[in-house]
A and B are shown apart, each in its own frame.
Chain A
């Protein structure tokens, strides 16, 4: 399968780029057949409705074509992708019980340290299954539920899961949503009861260790009326020379007067096809806030979507995308205004370097019903050389006369004068460029918790240091 499309650029050694021998207790054959889907379902002890759901999704998957409007994904061969790899452990509630190789992986990524210092709860997924889940007692006592999807599916919250699972992102949405429906595994379930304010963030970390594998975690968050939650999602994978696939799905239900902040730093290896779907629905007076950093991957399709269903609901999206050599990152944001007096503000930054391509693709829809709504979209692109690319494709569909919509796009190159200015103060050329790029990314870093802002700046430095 080593066609030229599969070649990926080598990056410098980074803290993310280490891997352990695959030590799976169970893995499916590569490719996708009804047999494989049945095996996954059996292995995971799905309830009957879930097996039916998976099979239905597979049918939809087989009937749909690959989207052709985005960057090419023909380097991805589904027949070569292993859809389910169960790590050699059951889920643990104590860090000490997690097997050493897996524990070392997360230690190196700083997950347990972050949990100790600044998180209310942590979930850690390794390949297809969650291997560790823990939540602070105080948070549990508030009635907050934070668990892996498998436990949620069969446990006492199974009705809530069944009520919401893939209702926001139905398998018919697109081919990879159908694929997700058929082979999904792992992910987190969070339930915040009405009026509960979770003071410190919860975090899930997804690590794809195996080569030629797919990761299809499902994140389902229900924030009941008047409640507040900050959820952080981190992703990474070591590099391999074969294609990996990430087709996760995130469904967020924000109740009336509730507020959810969802922060992500995705840092995929450069062989990854990241075809991820994230969607939120927001009730009356509710607020949805997205902070999204997209680093790495060979090709990304990522457009977190918000449905502003209730009157006066609000959405804010702050995103940054960094594409280096050989990368095509097609990212953006979608919002649908349904309620009256709803507002959305989208602000994105993109950085492209060494021939990397960043595309902002977004869509703002204001329905007839959504009187007096407002939407503003700001896209700011920085190109570090003349071979890199940046495009902006904003679509707008406005169906009433009382709403107000604005779009601004700026595309610029790093200025030689600014680099010289910083160098004249004793900074090397690389440091000068790095400082300019970090400064460009600062409005996004400001939205992240400190540790993640630091991580993002490190990622920028790593990308800036990449040499051929």
Chain B
């Protein structure tokens, strides 16, 4: 299968602090990767760097998407190429309804004018799948949403935008059991053999219905171990100490 994302020896700074130290990662089309690691290892930084957050500065190395060097591209250009990030704490945007926002996003992605009623119908069906009350469509983007509704709103955006690579940054954190199940269902619905997932999580539950190709352990700004799904079980049983211990 062909390469979708390649992160090559990336070093990155946030607030002049070195967070990533020569990170390498490759994801092929159709694959699902999981990133685990202790707090502060650089997991969210990796997502942010791939998405193109200007608060993180890449000092060395490159990011390739479908073979193209995207290291210098802004976030919007990366999004239009098919990269998506589900935020850990999504921003609130007063005055812009979720529906209007999604309509603008979809139009930006496709460059095509949109049939309002068809889109509304599509949106309603997706919201049903996510157990979202339809009234959320006319509420302002994430404003006053509970933690769970914010995460559902992220998954809804992913389903509307249909990216080639979706990165989910602790999408399960702060969710109750039912909400994790719903979100997990949404992710399952999204996944097909052409698109790829990069999931950051501390929680195995969200992964239950997914076929995992690779699991990476990120520590000190580098990936120190890569293995199959059995690694999740190992981390859940023994924690990171063993793996990190070998590194130090």
Contact = CB atoms under 8 A, between A and B. Distances in A.
A438 B53 CA distance: 23
Given A426-B79, A435-B96, A442-B96, A421 B55 contact: no
A440 to B, nearest CB: 6
Contacts of B141: 439
A396 B2 CA distance: 69
A418 B75 CA distance: 12
B108 A438 contact: no
B95 A441 contact: yes
Interface in B110-147: 140-141
A226 interface: no
Interface string B28-66: 000000000000000000000001111100000000000
Given A420-B54, A439-B140, A427 B95 contact: no
Given A415-B91, A417-B91, A436-B93, A425 B54 contact: no
A420 B96 contact: no
Contacts of A441: 95
A416 B55 contact: yes
B87 interface: yes
Interface in B128-170: 140-141, 157, 161
A426 B108 contact: yes
Contacts of A424: 51-52, 75-76, 78-79, 84-85, 87
Interface string B74-104: 1110111000110100111111100001001
B91 A421 contact: yes
B95 A442 contact: yes
Nearest to A436: B93
Nearest to B86: A424
Contacts of B80: 426
A423 interface: yes
A441 B96 CA distance: 10
B128 to A, nearest CB: 22
Interface in A389-424: 415-418, 420-424
A435 B76 contact: no
A118 interface: no
Given A421-B87, A429-B74, A439 B94 contact: yes
A443 B143 CA distance: 14
B31 to A, nearest CB: 21
A428 interface: yes
B44 to A, nearest CB: 13
B13 interface: no
B74 A425 contact: no
B50 to A, nearest CB: 11
Among B80, B91, B157, chain A packs the most CB atoms within 10 A around the CB of B91
A417 B54 CA distance: 10
A415 to B, nearest CB: 7
Contacts of A442: 94-96
Contacts of B84: 424
Given A416-B55, A420-B53, A420-B75, A425 B157 contact: yes
Contact of A428 (B76, B78, B105, B140): B76
A425 B100 CA distance: 13
B231 interface: no
B77 to A, nearest CB: 9
B109 interface: yes
B150 to A, nearest CB: 12
Contact of A421 (B90, B94, B104): B90
A438 B101 CA distance: 12
A439 B95 CA distance: 4
Interface in A432-450: 432, 435-436, 438-443
Contacts of B95: 438-443
A431 B90 CA distance: 18
A56 B84 CA distance: 70
Among A425, A432, A441, chain B packs the most CB atoms within 10 A around the CB of A425
A426 B96 contact: no
Contact of A439 (B55, B85, B96, B108): B96
A348 to B, nearest CB: 15
A129 to B, nearest CB: 40
Contacts of A420: 53-55, 75
Contacts of B91: 415, 417-418, 421-422
Interface string A55-72: 000000000000000000
Among A418, A423, A424, A435, chain B packs the most CB atoms within 10 A around the CB of A424
A429 B52 CA distance: 13
A246 to B, nearest CB: 30
Nearest to B143: A439
Contacts of A431: 104, 108
A423 to B, nearest CB: 4
A167 B212 CA distance: 79
B161 A426 contact: yes
Given A426-B76, A426-B108, A438-B95, 10 more contacts: A416-B54, A422-B91, A423-B76, A424-B78, A425-B105, A429-B76, A435-B104, A439-B94, A439-B141, A442-B96
Q: Top 4 nearest A-B pairs by Cβ distance?
A: A439-B95, A442-B95, A426-B79, A423-B75
